[in-house]
């Protein structure tokens, strides 16, 4: 994994890798590829806690974002195991990741690493609501897919499991997740063997 040295901070959000989303180009009326940063939020960094709180306020009434923020606080207080619970953000920021800008956060997610099987449990994935529910031209596309693609490409991950909301079933199917339990809306994605 190549980590840009300017982003490999000892505090604040930790750069994991770049991801690709599509950004609207009004001059051409097209969506162009844009590199964004996938970062792990640090529960010991007050700036990350402020950023996630501001995001919850900015994404008003989004329960997944609130749950993700609550988990970051539980991690801060050592109420969740830090070696397995992780909170991630997808942001358009490329530097100064120790000061995440809420207006540049595109998505938040919470995962639990189950190391013996190299499985991630995706507890929550929340994309900025204005990118999902907007009735006007969206500024960004493929944000949720970009988030999932980073998780899929992590070296230690062989599979991802999750419970889906009814409204997200099509999204997960489009991203190669297989429905394993209809009653509980459980999905799995497995890395293909080469």
Residue 9: inside a domain = no
Look-up of token digits 């190669």: 176
> In this structure, is residue 7 part of a structural domain?
no
CATH of the domain at 91: 3.40.630.30
Residue 1 lies in a domain: no
In a domain, residue 3? The reply is no
Q: Which of 89, 105, 101, 111 is nearest to 161 (CA)?
A: 111
Q: Assess if residue 88 is contained within a domain.
A: yes
User: Which residue range forms the structural domain that includes residue 36?
Assistant: 14-190
Supply the pLDDT for residue 194.
63
pLDDT number for residue 6: 37
**Short-list 56, 95, 99, 48, CA closest to 75:** 48
Residue 20 belongs to a domain? yes
Query: Between β-strands 159-163 and 119-127, what pairing exists: parallel, antiparallel or unpaired?
Result: parallel
Q: Is residue 4 part of a domain?
A: no
Q: How many domains does the chain have?
A: 1
Q: Residue-wise pLDDT tens for the chain (194 aa)?
A: 333 333 333 346 899 999 999 999 999 999 999 999 999 999 999 999 999 999 999 998 889 999 999 999 999 999 999 999 999 999 999 988 888 889 999 999 999 998 767 899 999 999 999 998 776 788 999 999 999 999 999 888 999 999 999 999 999 999 999 999 999 999 999 998 76
Q: Which residue intervals of the chain are DSSP H helices?
A: 46-58, 63-76, 129-132, 143-153, 169-174
145 domain residue, yes or no: yes
Spell 109-123 as b/e; 16+ CB within 10 A means b. Answer: bbbbbeeeeebbbbb
Q: What is the pTM of this model?
A: 0.90
């Amino acid at each position: 994994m190549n980590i840009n040295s300017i982003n490999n901070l000892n505090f604040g959000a930790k750069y994991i890798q770049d991801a690709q989303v599509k950004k609207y180009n009004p001059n051409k009326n097209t969506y162009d590829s844009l590199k964004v940063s996938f970062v792990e939020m640090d529960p010991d960094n007050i700036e990350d806690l402020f950023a996630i709180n501001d995001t919850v306020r900015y994404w008003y009434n989004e329960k997944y974002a609130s749950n993700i923020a609550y988990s970051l606080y539980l991690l801060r207080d050592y109420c969740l195991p830090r070696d397995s619970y992780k909170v991630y953000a997808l942001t358009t920021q490329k530097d100064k990741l120790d000061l995440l800008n809420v207006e540049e956060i595109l998505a938040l997610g919470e995962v639990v690493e189950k190391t013996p099987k190299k499985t991630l449990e995706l507890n929550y994935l929340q994309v900025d609501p204005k990118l999902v529910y907007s009735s006007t031209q969206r500024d960004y596309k493929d944000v949720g897919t970009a988030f999932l693609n980073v998780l899929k490409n992590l070296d230690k991950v062989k599979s991802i499991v999750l419970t889906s909301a009814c409204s997200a079933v099509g999204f997960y199917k489009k991203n190669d997740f297989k429905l394993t339990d209809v009653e509980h809306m459980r999905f799995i994605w497995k890395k293909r063997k080469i």
